Amino acid sequence: MPVSASNQPTQGAHRPTLSHAISQIFTRAILFAGLWLVIAGSDPASWIIGLPTVLLAILSSLWLSSGRPRPLGLRLTALLRFLPFFAFESVRGGIDVAARVLRPKVKINPGFQRYQPRLDHPAARVLFLDSISLLPGTLSADLRDGIIEVHALDVTSDLTPELQRLERLIGRLFGEKLEEVRV
């Protein structure tokens, strides 16, 4: 095989073509969309979450299969602490919402609370914004001028301590040390 002056092969090297890349994306899209249908069922409303999830799965799969993934700078020990928190809060949030709905007298006082995140890493900010929905009765509704509007099922309870705790855990994942702020 001929070798160029830079000692890199000039022929025979596998270079992905546009049609090959499109084929990979299409194959992954069908696979992950099918998996979403198995998990979530055929309710069209499930695609509100399903479409971003499928797109993220496609991108992650392509990134990981590229053979040279770029590091996100995640700390393994912090990840090992975050995963149980993630699982616990997912269950706690589901139980909280179910309990509110199943009570004879629904205990809700919906509204919005604002929160100013302190995270610097862009991926940390995205993960924080997406993870807010784990907390019982909450949903990140908007991000404007660096302020997050959090929709809460009960605005009489202050979400700030829980949001700060979540933010500190995510900050540790990315090597950011955030001090606890007393309100």
pLDDT digits (tens, 9 = 90+) for 19-32: 877 888 888 899 99
- Pairing type for strands 138-144 and 111-115 reads unpaired
Work out the percent of the chain whose per-residue pLDDT is above 90: 17
The rounded distance, in Å, linking the Cα atoms of 61 and 68 is 12
pTM of the model: 0.58
> Amino acid identity, residue 84?
P
15 burial level (CB within 10 Å; 0-12, 13-18, 19+): exposed
Q: What is the tens place of the pLDDT at every residue in 95-116?
A: 988 888 888 787 788 999 999 9
- Determine the pLDDT at residue 14: 53
The rounded distance, in Å, linking the Cα atoms of 11 and 18 is 18
- Determine the pLDDT at residue 111: 93
Q: Which helix (H) or strand (E) holds 57?
A: helix 47-65
- Determine the pLDDT at residue 4: 45
